[in-house]
Amino acid sequence: MSYPQPHPRFSVLSSSSLSSAEHLSPAGSSARFSLPSAPSINTSVNTPKPGFRPNIYDRNLNKSRTSEVSAAAFAFLFSEVVQYTQKRVTGIADLERRLNTLGYRVGTRVFELMIWRNESSSKMPKREIRFLPALMLIHTQVWKAAFGKPADAIEKSVENADEYMIIDNDPPLTRNVSVPRDMSQLSCSSFSAGIVEAVLDGLGFPARVTAHNTPTDTLPNRTTILIKLERLVLEREEAMKQ
Amino acid sequence: MAIFGLWVINKAGGLVYQRNFGDGLPTLTSNEYLVLAGTLHGIHAITSRLSPTGSSSGVQVIEGESFKMTIMLTPTGTKFVLLTSVTETTADVILQKVYEVYADAVMKNPFHTPEMPIRSDGFDRRITALLG
pLDDT tens, position by position, for chain B (132 residues)? 689 999 999 999 999 999 998 877 788 898 999 999 999 999 999 999 988 888 888 899 999 998 999 999 999 999 999 999 999 899 999 999 999 999 999 999 999 999 999 999 999 999 999 987
Chain centre distance of CA A110: 7
Indicate whether A52 belongs to any domain.
no
- Fill in the amino acid letter for B25: L
Q: Are strands B15-20 and B3-9 parallel, antiparallel or unpaired?
A: antiparallel
At A138-196, the pLDDT tens digits run 999 899 988 989 999 999 999 999 999 999 999 999 999 999 988 888 999 999 999 99
pLDDT for the residue A47: 57
**Burial of A235 from C-beta contacts in 10 A (0-12 / 13-18 / 19+):** exposed
The Cα–Cα gap between A15 and A42 comes to 11
Interface test with A, best of B102, B106, B108 (most A CBs within 10 A): B108
Confidence of residue A235 (pLDDT cuts 50, 70, 90): very high
For residue A156, list its beta bridge partners. Answer: A164
- Whether A1 has a pLDDT exceeding 70, the answer reads no
Strand order in the sheet with B68-73: B15-20, B3-9, B79-84, B68-73, B61-63
The Cα A171–Cα A150 span in angstroms is: 10
CATH code for position A147: 3.30.1380.20
Mean pLDDT of A125-131: 86
- For residue range A44-93, list pLDDT tens digits in order: 445 555 667 778 888 888 877 778 889 999 999 999 999 999 999 999 99
Mean pLDDT of chain A, nearest integer = 81
The string of DSSP letters for A141-158 reads IIHHHHHSS--SEEEE-S
Residue A231, in any domain of the structure? yes
The Cα of B125 is separated from the nearest Cα of chain A by a number of Å equal to 9
Chain B environment of A220 (Cβ under 8 Å): 121-122, 125
Q: Which chain A positions have a beta carbon within 8 Å of B120's beta carbon?
A: 178
Q: Determine, yes or no, domain membership for A109.
A: yes
pLDDT band at A41 (very low <50, low <70, confident <90, very high): very low
Q: At a CB cut-off of 8 Å and minimum separation 6, what does A199 contact?
A: A107, A110, A111, A138, A142
How far away is chain A from the Cα of B101, in angstroms, using its nearest Cα? Answer: 10
Helix (H) / strand (E) element for A212: namely: strand A207-213
A121-140 burial: b if 16+ Cβ within 10 Å, else e? eeeeeeeeeebeebbebbbe
pLDDT score for A33: 47
Full domain range(s) for residue B89: 3-131
Q: What three-state secondary structure class fits B4?
A: strand
**Is A172 within a domain?**
yes
| Residue A131 located in a structural domain | yes
pLDDT of residue B28: 87
- B37 within 8 A of B7, measured Cβ to Cβ: yes
**Distance from A25 to chain B by nearest Cα, in Å?**
22
Interface of B with A (CB under 8 A): 104-105, 107-112, 119-123, 125
Strands (E), chain B: 3-9, 15-20, 61-63, 68-73, 79-84
Q: Which domain holds residue A113?
A: 92-242
Structural domain includes residue A178: yes
pLDDT digits (tens, 9 = 90+) for B67-99: 999 999 999 999 999 999 999 899 999 999 999
In this complex, the residue of B104, B119, B125 whose CB is nearest that of residue A180 is: B119
Q: What is the domain-level CATH number for residue B126?
A: 3.30.450.70
Q: What is the pLDDT of residue A50?
A: 63
Instruction: With CA atoms as reference, report the closest residue to A208 among A104, A64, A72, A78.
Output: A104
Domain count, chain A: 1
From A195's Cα to the closest Cα of chain B, the distance in A is 20
Confidence band, pLDDT 50/70/90 cuts, at residue A22: very low
A79 is a domain residue: no
The reply to whether A64 falls in a domain is no
Report the number of distinct structural domains present in chain B.
1
**B102 neighbourhood in chain A, CB within 8 Å:** none
Contact between chains at B120 and A220 (C-beta distance less than 8 A): no
Cβ separation B122–A83 shorter than 8 A = no
As a whole number of angstroms, the distance between CA A44 and CA A23 comes to 24
How does residue A123 score in pLDDT terms, banded at 50, 70 and 90?
confident
pLDDT at A5 over 60: no
Section A86-113 average pLDDT = 94
